[in-house]
Amino acid sequence: MSAPAVSAASTSGTTVPATGEVAEVAGAGDPGDLGEGRVVRIRFAKRGRVRFISHRDVARAFERALRVAGLPVAVTRGFTPHPRIGFGLALAVGHESDAEYLDVGLDRAVEPSSVVEDLAAVLPDGLTPEAAVDLAPGAPALQEAVTSVEYLMVTGVGAEVAAGGVAALLAAGEVEVARSRKGRRSVEDVRPLVRHLSVVGHGEGWSELHAEVATRPRGLRPSELLEALGAVPGPAAGVEFYEGRVLRTRQWMERGGARLEPLEADPRPRAPEVHAS
Amino acid sequence: MSSLWPRIEPLLARVEKPGRYIGMEGGRRRPVHGPGRVSWLLVYPDTYEIGLPNQGLQILYEILNERADSVAERAYAPWTDLAAEMRAAGVPFFSVDDHRAARDFDVLAFNLSTELVYTNVLECLDLAGVPLRSADRGLEDPLVVAGGHGAFNPEPMACFVDAFVVGDGEEAAGEVTEVVASWKAAGRRSRDDVLHDLALLPGVYVPSMYDVFYDGPALREVRPRHPDVPAVIDKRTIADLADWPHPSTPLVPLVDVVHDRLNVEVFRGCTRGCRFCQAGMVTRPVRERPEEQVRTMVAGGLRRSGHDEVALTSLSTADFSGIDDVVAGIVDGSTGCGNVSVSLPSLRVDAFTVGIASELQKGRRTGLTFAPEAGTWRMRRVINKMISEEDLHRAVDAAYSQGWRRIKLYFLTGLPTETDTDTLGVAELARDVVAVGRRHTGRATCTVSLGGFVPKAHTPFQWFGQNGVGELRRKIGLVRDALHRSGAQLRWHDPEATFAEGIVSRGDRRIGPVIEAVWRAGGRFQEWSEHFSLPRWLDAMAAEGLDPDWYVTRHRADDEVLPWDHVSAGLHKDFLRQDWHDALAEHGLPDCRWTPCYDCGVCTGYALEHVVGSSVPPAGGSQGTGQDPSRGAVVPVELATVRGAG
């Protein structure tokens, strides 16, 4: 858009185009200050081409969809009010999911099923709300409460080698993998994070793995799990487990030994019906 | 014509920000291709993030998809990582709508917004598998069209572009469609035929229909090769913005882009008369959109897009006749948009403007940007940006007192007649601004953005020899030293990039091979500092036997034939020359919206008129029309050439 910036554009005030103007997305990745009112928790899928957009992009798409749908989203007080929305664990760019969640603070109660319907009509193709519940007051935020997630991962390694690697990893006492977070590199034992791992499908030169990984003390990325498979001594040692399509299938919250799906974990108790007598 | 998506998809796992290649924006059209339709690929030759918000492209996208005889998709330059993957995998340049190969379109239309993107045009053509040079294209190749401000000096791109559209594209796009449609219907026989027909359309320049003659290094003449082809191509101008309420359904991208908000153009054109500003000169006259239509477009755009910010766009937006009412209406919610913030990307420097800006306080607030452009009153008279120090002080005082903490100031350096006193005036002004701010808050900051001035075609400064790299560096150094411990931060534009821009900005046809050589040497995304390299440009100039200083730092003689003399923005050359001499005499020129016409040539030549809602100039400040633009210095300042690319 050359017009409005023209007094500067003919000579361009900065060397790098105006990346500084990219808007901050309020609430993206924020566990969420959902306010005092009603909160609806929504499960949605991220499938197809939209898998190439980032967690922040998904957050912004929901914020816009909520506005277009005209839902009564609660906003924070203060100088720069932003919508009270809480997102769960980030999904890596390029991965698909059948189990993404967000919590939305509302100024008044709205039937969860109509939230799903209204959003479905306006969200981009591939971001598909599936179900929603009213959340109990004071329910823990998604990022704090989710304890494990499941993935289906295609890897460019044949079934036999893959099965060997899986068995070796599960049998190992510890599996050290070099990881980097926010620029800091460290070597960590990732074995305790792997709750379940199996080969569930295969073809010529590829196999599909099913994994459940813990999110505490922090999450294990599919790419790190694949790297770990090649790092364990055994039949798959040194093999590069190329990452193919990755689908997150489930997220779980652990409560007293039981695994609960986030929509089932903290539903708002139904108001007792009042009967006139 | 099948989708390339299955072949693109595997590449996306290996590139940065793959979301910019998937399309899927809100508001996108479903392209309907067919034998009866001319298919356009509208290309912004920069990244998706920069190109997607481009309003010109979005306007044409709507117009061409609403016509029954055309269809349009969009494409943006792939970043270098994807371009490498595409070459390795044999995947051609593609549209983001349906992921169609660029070669499958009838017309590839490039938006030439700034000179440093020109090498990206070649990159896109090469990735598309289309011959770079018009002369090498055959019947099966798409027509390569270009528009945007770059079309006002088309010569540097003349050997690559089949046809330029000069000026507003709204009407011309349809006329080009009709010519191409009849050519297709008649069996696409000779490429020369369709180019000849295009050359007869008003506002369309077909370089291959013109011969260029030189006297040594000097240009002698650009002459049509056919008697029916016009000797001068007049720009297109839509008379009334109200007839073109586009974009009505703005594109809403799924990934972060610049200007990620609803943009509504409130007027086009500007007659403030800033002498450095090509946009102001080539987009005359002023054509305001009716207030009511602005409201409708804001309300509809917000409702459809879900944006929570709207920018009212134009040059010097506070000059819009209905600005107070429109802003107030959006902010108080009477447009029915809920909690929405408003931004005015181009503000005048005066208290009136801050008054409007304070209206925006009711919504969310961002920093305020002012563009005094020059550091002293003398210098501002030369460039005809008549802002007094008092006005700037009043404006920033009002801003800081109403709670703004961060003020950004834009300046140019290397302006005609600029002395070190003028250059240092930038630092002085910035120090004053910080001092004013500190009276209100200890946290007051000010950012100074300093750009090297590049003279542009069709402006009074088109005759001026640009400052060389060393001189601009020295001036930036002066300001930097003077701002030491001032509380103001300085950001500056790389003087080497300014020099390269200068090569192309006033270049002639001989610059085409230079652009190609820079591209062949790997020069893409030249406005991105990590990809820019001046030596590539200088090597290419040397290889072509061209002297960079002749193009960049040389003052042009008053009677010299300029490479764009055969393209008219409606401005009389005599007017520009007079305004150039007035500049040297430090003599200002008032805004003709509210004062008698001085006949720059546009309205009289094209039988147009300003379309403004108010015949009274806006209140407030020296940038209203209250100032006395009387003659200043008696002796015109001598122009010394400051040469050198080193």
For the segment B123-175, what is each residue's pLDDT rounded down to a tens digit? 999 999 999 999 999 999 999 999 999 999 999 999 999 999 999 999 999 99
Closest CA in chain A for residue B115? A10
Residue A118: CATH number of its domain = 3.30.70.580
Closest CA in chain A for residue B530? A16
Query: What part of B 164-193 touches A (C-beta under 8 Å)?
Result: none
Q: Which of A13, A16, A126 sits opposite B410 (nearest CB)?
A: A13
Q: Which residues pair with B224 in a beta bridge?
A: B210
| A9 domain residue, yes or no | no
Give the span between the Cα atoms of B346 and B371, in whole angstroms.
8
User: Average per-residue pLDDT in chain B?
Assistant: 92
What is the distance in angstroms between the Cα of B162 and the nearest Cα belonging to chain A?
23
**Model pLDDT, residue B92:** 98
For residue A90, give its domain range: 25-144
Average pLDDT over residues B582-597: 91
| A20 domain residue, yes or no | no
Residues A111 and A129 in one domain: yes
Is B451's pLDDT higher than 50? yes
Number of folded domains that form chain A = 2
**A134–B contact, CB cutoff 8 A:** no
| A269 domain residue, yes or no | no
Inter-helix orientation angle B469-482/B420-438, to 10°: 30
| A256 domain residue, yes or no | yes
**Model pLDDT, residue B400:** 86
Residue with tokens 């359904």: B249
Closest CA in chain B for residue A20? B258
**Model pLDDT, residue B443:** 84
What is the distance in angstroms between the Cα of A2 and the nearest Cα belonging to chain B?
7
ipTM confidence: 0.90
Residue A198: CATH number of its domain = 3.30.2350.10
Cis peptide upstream of residue B247 (ω within 30 degrees of 0): yes
User: pLDDT tens digits for B347-371?
Assistant: 777 766 777 777 765 545 567 888 9
Residues A165 and A249 in one domain: yes
Residues A123 and A170 in one domain: no
Is B433's pLDDT higher than 90? yes
Residue B599: how many other CB atoms lie within 10 Å: 13
- List the end-to-end C-alpha distance of chain B, in Å, as a whole number: 50
* End residue of a domain, out of A110, A144, A178: A144
Residues A151 and A126 in one domain: no
**A80–B contact, CB cutoff 8 A:** yes
**B418–A contact, CB cutoff 8 A:** no
DSSP A175: -
CB B43 within 8 A of CB B111: yes
Q: Which of B22, B313, B493 sits opposite A11 (nearest CB)?
A: B493
Q: Which helix (H) or strand (E) holds B516?
A: helix B512-520
**Model pLDDT, residue A21:** 28
Closest CA in chain B for residue A19? B258
Query: What part of B 523-562 touches A (C-beta under 8 Å)?
Result: 527-529, 532
pLDDT band at B387 (very low <50, low <70, confident <90, very high): confident
Which residues from A are below 8 Å from B311, CB to CB?
Answer: 4
Average pLDDT over residues B209-231: 97
pLDDT band at B386 (very low <50, low <70, confident <90, very high): confident
B235's CB contacts (< 8 A; 6+ apart) are B152, B166, B167, B168, B203, B282, B567, B568, B569, B570
- The answer to whether the CB atoms of A7 and B315 lie below 8 A apart is yes
Residues A155 and A140 in one domain: no
CB B314 within 8 A of CB B340: no
Residue B202: how many other CB atoms lie within 10 Å: 15
**Model pLDDT, residue B144:** 98
| A276 domain residue, yes or no | no
| A155 domain residue, yes or no | yes
Which residues from B are below 8 Å from A1, CB to CB?
Answer: 53-56, 259, 263, 313
Residues A216 and A230 in one domain: yes
Separation in Å, CA A270 to CA A67, A274, B74: 28, 12, 51
Residue B607: how many other CB atoms lie within 10 Å: 7
User: pLDDT tens digits for B186-208?
Assistant: 999 899 999 999 999 999 999 99
What is the distance in angstroms between the Cα of B25 and the nearest Cα belonging to chain A?
8
User: Could you give phi then psi for residue B488, rounded to 5 degrees?
Assistant: -105, 140
- The answer to whether the CB atoms of B56 and A52 lie below 8 A apart is no
Residues A127 and A180 in one domain: no
3-class state of residue B263 by DSSP: strand
Side chain identity, residue B595:
T
Sign, Cα dihedral of B101, B107, B113, B115: positive
Residues A137 and A206 in one domain: no
Query: What part of A 171-230 touches B (C-beta under 8 Å)?
Result: none
Which residues from A are below 8 Å from B56, CB to CB?
Answer: 1-2
Residue with tokens 């277009």: A68
Side chain identity, residue B514:
V
**Model pLDDT, residue B624:** 45
B641 or A1, higher pLDDT:
B641
CB B472 within 8 A of CB B414: yes
**Model pLDDT, residue B630:** 44
Give the span between the Cα atoms of A22 and B49, in whole angstroms.
9
pLDDT band at B620 (very low <50, low <70, confident <90, very high): low
Residues A101 and A176 in one domain: no
B437's CB contacts (< 8 A; 6+ apart) are B396, B400, B405, B407, B444, B445, B446
* End residue of a domain, out of A129, A144, A159: A144
Residue (of A104, A101, A70) closest to A88 by Cα position: A101
Residues A157 and A218 in one domain: yes
pLDDT band at B373 (very low <50, low <70, confident <90, very high): very high
Q: Which of B18, B256, B450 sits opposite A52 (nearest CB)?
A: B18
Residues A94 and A196 in one domain: no
pLDDT band at B339 (very low <50, low <70, confident <90, very high): confident
DSSP B443: T
Mean pLDDT per segment of 10 residues, for chain A of length 277 residues? 31 30 35 73 98 97 95 84 89 97 95 97 97 93 93 96 96 88 83 96 96 91 94 93 96 93 90 60
Is B573's pLDDT higher than 60? yes
Closest CA in chain A for residue B412? A11
| A228 domain residue, yes or no | yes
CA B74 to chain centre: 19
**Model pLDDT, residue A2:** 33
Residues A127 and A173 in one domain: no
* End residue of a domain, out of A120, A144, A168: A144
Side chain identity, residue B437:
G
Q: Which of B22, B23, B313 sits opposite A1 (nearest CB)?
A: B313
B167: left (phi over 0), alpha (psi -120 to 50) or beta: left
Task: For strands A127-134 and A38-46, give the pairing.
Answer: antiparallel
Q: Which residues pair with B105 in a beta bridge?
A: none
User: pLDDT tens digits for B478-518?
Assistant: 999 999 999 999 999 999 999 999 999 999 999 999 999 99
User: pLDDT tens digits for B276-329?
Assistant: 999 999 999 999 999 999 999 999 999 999 998 899 999 988 889 888 888 888
Average pLDDT over residues B37-65: 98
